[in-house]
Structure 1
């Protein structure tokens, strides 16, 4: 029975192959042959169609004709609403088994990874704080800071002897360098603060500047304003600045929060610039100069004849405002002049009271 069934299947395949061959011979164009192969296969891919056509001798060079066949196959599938599967392999039983095994392996790996993430990690040992790199040229800055102390030492020695009247050499030697020793101590404290975890100089910075002002007082009292300025500039001030550069304080000690003093200083600066007419109103220097000249010309035009050099000043203001050639400045001048000329009419204007509308709105709100 098996032999007979196999013979029948073989004969059926032979007849089918003969029918396909006869049909392909009858077709004239390559497009028709490709479409026939697609209809014969049912769910064709480019590889299946090429293999079918190679079986019957239609395609002889698959590499050269593959692009054309793929285009026609995609067109045939699009006409019938079939998705483009490309050259995906057929889902056989072996392939499905392999895919199931691969998915199971991936799921087990994901479960192990999740379990490893949920397990608490051992606490990490804290390493020592990495030392901050010193700025370039720090040794030179330290050297200049030490040399500037010599000027401060000379000032202190003379101040203790001349102004404070300490004539004993030993007594003066034990007392005169108190400021310089304090400066050195503050320098070491700032260096330690910079190299700590916070990276800030700490209160030693404020004490350092206070000692600098004290040394400046001694210099001015000893040598006067001119020589004292040289002593304080080349002495403690230079030493403090060099120490800041050596430690890199200005680069590392940056505050992220806005302090009260910074807000006050910013507000004072803005008010001072606004008083000078230099507020940040997106005007350049020429526009500000012409606006001020137009305002000055309007006031001079309304000034009395007793104003000294009124005509000369008015002509100069008009030239500075460029009112003769600039339409905008001419309009600004006219508006300023009209405002000055009719300033007395402000007190005679009949305006509606703003309180009546506010009262009506309040009563309406209470009623609702």
Structure 2
């Protein structure tokens, strides 16, 4: 049963349809009728205008008159600055849902790894990428300041060389001394650039230029000490070639201590000694914080003091302090750890009386089974 609102809407549609039909009859040309349809529909497409004209009997053969209608609709939209939709139909909710589904399917297909890519090992891809794109080391920020300080420090080294060549080597001719005295400083600069080139190469190591650089520093130090003595010579060396080399390292982007890729014997020995030293101090990396380590050591110490003899100095005081440090009275975990430590210490003598199965019999049977295969 229709409601009053439905009846009102139906009557409104009938009146509107009659008005459109009367208006179309009053128009003379096809161009005017198409424009009226466009103005009535708002932003219509060619299909919308054809459907409107077919509804009111203006167009009887849509296929034949589509081209003419499309031209008029395009001109009308162009006059109003609207985009040309051509013959594209109006997108409905169903069509939008289908387009979204296709988009998600395409995204899922692109996310799946290709066969050629999965067959290639990861290590080879990484090595190829690294070989194709070698790591470039950028010059550190403030390199101009480093260059300035390096130049100023080389002036100190130049003064030392000038005086050494004149006073110690006896080269009094000014032109001869000028041609020879700066050989160390020029060699320092050349070694710095050579180290920079080696660092930026695929090897990534400073190379032999580093040894030559420090050898030249040693030679300049000898000249400074021989010329000015130990005190003034130390100042000349520190503010001269050593400072210049350090500034060149920073300015040219060269690390003072280059991290080697391969693990040497000395690095393994030093790492092992460091780990043993930290373990002796109770600072091994076992995922415990400082409080847990302190309480564990206190619980172990309390267990041993509880079993200690009465002649142990300050046994009672030390035991009380260890129990408080372990927080055994309030922490269930520490109390259980203390009891376990105490039980292990108390029954340590029973270890030698335990009747255990021989591990060699199982090993012998396993070896025989392996030989029978």
Normalised TM-score (structure 1): 0.49
What is the TM-score when the length of structure 2 is the normalising length?
A: 0.49
